[in-house]
Structure 1
C-alpha cells in the first residue's frame, strides 16, 4: 500500500544525534479518516554502542495513540516540554489525532486527558488488546497503519459541527501568524472570551492562550535553527510579542534554553554535519 510521507515534524527540538541512527517518519491517513486523524508516525532508533540521547519536543494540542514495547496508551495534550531518553534499539508507532478530533471518541471533556496517559483499553475496550498485540508484532509501519485503520473505522463516531469548527480554528492558529491574541481568536469564533475558554478546555484540552503561545514558540524554534536565523528583536516582533524580554522568558521557560543558546547549539550541529 502506498501512503504519502509528510514533511518533517515541527516542534522537535534540536539535539546532536548520530548520523543514520534515528529515523522519524510520518504518513497521511486514508481519506475517510482525515476528519479525525492528522497522521501516523513512527520513530525508530538504533543507538547500540552509542550513549543515550535525550529527545525533546514541544507537543501540539493533539491526542496521540502510542504503541511501544508491551503497551498501548492514549496520551492527552502535554502542556509542557516532552522529553524522552532514547537508548539501545527500539521503535514507537503512533497515531496523531487532529486538534479536538479525539473528543467524540472520548465522549468527555479532553481536559480530563491533559498531561495524562491512559490505557487504550480504557477508551476502546477489550478489543484493543488484540490491536496492541498485532501492531507491536508487525515490523512494517504500513501494515501497522492498515491494522489501526481497520480497527478504528467501524468505531468512527460522527463529527459534531461544533467540534469540527474548533478543530479548524486551532489548525488555523498554527498557520495564521496574524492571530497572536485571544481576543482575535474569540472574535473569529464569534464567542465571548470566557465562553471560548470553556469550549477550548472541553474540546481541545488546553486554553486558547496556550495554543497561541505554543504555535508561536514552534515557529521560533524553527527559525532559530536555520542558518539565516533572525535577530531576537525582529523575531519577537514577528511573533506578536510586545518586547524581546517577554519572548526570551517564554522561550526559556518552555524550551529550557534561552533563544540565543538554542540558536548557537543548532549552528554547532549544522557545522558538525557539514564537516562529515
Structure 2
C-alpha cells in the first residue's frame, strides 16, 4: 500500500476565475480558501480536499452562498461554526452560511462512490441538510472524521484521510455502480459547454436506466438535474468574471433556449436574478 504520509499534498488557492460555484468569489482570499488534490489511490472516493480560515472583526459578517457541485461533503470545523464534525448533503438551492467571528474548516468533498465507502448514510438522508456528525447519526463516518481531526494542519489532515480511505478500500472496493456514477459526473463536468454528441448511455455503453439508477443511488439526483447544476456553476463564473458579457450571449454559449430561461434557472437556485447578482458584485468591489 502507498505510504501517503510521505506525499507532499498540493495546496493551492481557490481562484476567483475558476469554476468553484462560490457566488462571491472575491471573498475567497478573505477566507484563505485553498484546494488540496487527493492522491490518485483515493480519487475514486475523494473529489477534493479544501480548507478555509477567517478572523472577522466584531460585528462583521459575510453571507456566503455556493452553487456547489452535486456531492456530499464532510467537514471538520473549529471556532465560530455549527459543530466540530459536519456532513452536508447535495443541495437543491445554493448552500448558504453566515460567516462571522473566527474559524477554520477542513473539508472532504466526496465522489459519488465515496459516501458508501466512508459512511452508512444514504444520500437522501442528508439531502438539503447540514448535520452534525455524531456516533448516533453514523458511527462509521464519525470514527473516520474523528481520526482525521486528530491531525492539526490541512496538509496533515489530507494525508490522514488518504491513509484511512486507502484502508477502507481494501476492505470494501468501490462498486461498479459507484465507478459508473463517478465517470458520468466527470463526463457531465467535461461537456458543460458542449450540448451535442453521444448520449450518456451511448458513451458508456449502458442503458439509460442504468445511468439514472447509478446517479440516484449515489447522488440522489438524475443526470439532467446534475447537468443543470454544473451548468449553473458555469453561469455564476461567467457573470462574475465577464461583467461586460450580455446575458443573451452567456445563455447561447451554455445551451439555454434564451436569456429568460437562464434567468429563471439562476434565480431558482441562487435566490437572486443574474442582474441583481452582478449589481451585488459591483457594490462589493467598489468598497
- TM surpasses 0.5: yes
CA distance 1:201–1:179, shift in 2 (3 Å): farther
Q: TM-score, normalised by structure 1?
A: 0.83
Once residues 33 and 149 of structure 1 are traced to their aligned partners in structure 2, the CA distance between those partners, rounded to angstroms, is: 6
Instruction: Check the 8 A contact 1:59/1:79 in 2, yes or no.
Output: no
Match of 2:156 in 1: 143
Deviations 1:91-148 (A, max 9, x none): 111111123332344467533332233626415166447426514xx2x211222332
Find out whether 1:97 has 2:113 as its counterpart. Answer: no
Displacement of 1:167:
0.5
CA distance 1:47–1:118, shift in 2 (3 Å): closer
CA distance 1:230–1:128, shift in 2 (3 Å): same
Q: What count of residue pairs does the alignment treat as equivalent?
A: 267
Match of 1:2 in 2: 8
Once residues 197 and 54 of structure 1 are traced to their aligned partners in structure 2, the CA distance between those partners, rounded to angstroms, is: 35
Once residues 194 and 249 of structure 2 are traced to their aligned partners in structure 1, the CA distance between those partners, rounded to angstroms, is: 17
Deviations 1:211-259 (A, max 9, x none): 1111111001101111454211121122221122111111111111111
CA distance 1:40–1:221, shift in 2 (3 Å): same
Extract unaligned runs of 5+ from structure 2: 1-6
Report the secondary structure of 1:222's partner residue.
helix
Instruction: Check the 8 A contact 2:56/2:102 in 1, yes or no.
Output: yes
Find out whether 1:62 has 2:71 as its counterpart. Answer: yes
Match of 1:247 in 2: 262
Displacement of 1:153:
2.6
CA distance 1:107–1:83, shift in 2 (3 Å): closer
CA distance 1:204–1:190, shift in 2 (3 Å): farther
What root-mean-square deviation, in Å, do the aligned CA atoms of Structure 1 and Structure 2 show?
2.8
Extract unaligned runs of 5+ from structure 1: none
Instruction: Check the 8 A contact 2:64/2:99 in 1, yes or no.
Output: yes
Match of 1:115 in 2: 128
